[in-house]
Amino acid sequence: MRIQKFLSRAGVASRRKAEALVLEGRVRIDGTVVTELGTKVRPFRDRIEVDGEEVRLPDARWVRFYKPAGVLCTTMDTHGRRTIFDLLPREHATLRYVGRLDLDTEGLLLLTNDGDVANRLQHPRYQVEREYEVSVRGVPSKKDLARLRAGIVLDDGLARPVRVEAGAPVEDCGHITLVMAEGRKREVRRLLYALGYPVVTLTRVRFGPVKLGGLAPGEWEILSPRDVAALRECAEEV
């Protein structure tokens, strides 16, 4: 990690002010003054000091949250609508969400202060799976399910699910389990709409190795060390 990024993440100063601290010779790594921007540090191995005081990154926090439908993934809404941070306790207000869910979509939302891992989990390069339970208007035929498995060209390119499973329909609504390996905007809704099946309800039940579990809408819990380790494994360099 670059030294100025480390200092910013550690809460010492903004990125720009952190650069000034380095250029002024106020930063030491393992006892050696560094004045070159972009100098790399190993956050949990090197001893980093500013003006003689040791600086450390805050402990990584990970939260599993059941976002209800009708709640926005944003810190604040100018129209006064509820956001996820209206439902979460104040100590989670500085966390960032990993892969937003749109207003009408519910289910698993991960939040963390571990920005590097969060960025990798969301990047298409890492192919981290997202699993959804979808209810649609109408019951998809076997032919349409085959088209869905083969992939459909949307306005931003080909979208092909990793897995498609059809469940038992309820009245005139079909039920589909979809697994995607990227997080394009409203991708699941656009896929099914392109087939002629508007989405009625959409719930994310898994992100990578982490499942929604027994949470009810609006509930949250701290991720176990085992789940955090599994997420970090997904985000290792490829």
- Residues with catalytic annotation? 102
Number of domains in the chain: 3
> Among 40-49, 150-159, 168-177, whose mean pLDDT is lowest?
40-49
Q: Supply the range of the domain harboring residue 21.
A: 3-55
Q: With beta carbons less than 8 A apart as the criterion, state whether 184 and 156 touch.
A: yes
Is the confidence at residue 237, as pLDDT, over 80? no
Model confidence at 58, in pLDDT bands (50, 70, 90)? confident
On whether both 120 and 216 belong to a single domain, the answer is: yes
- pLDDT higher for 170 or 116? 170
On whether both 150 and 197 belong to a single domain, the answer is: yes
Domain end residue (candidates: 39, 55, 71): 55
Find the CATH number of the domain harbouring 226: 3.30.70.580
pLDDT of residue 75: 87
On whether both 82 and 119 belong to a single domain, the answer is: yes
On whether both 119 and 219 belong to a single domain, the answer is: yes
Find the CATH number of the domain harbouring 160: 3.30.70.1560
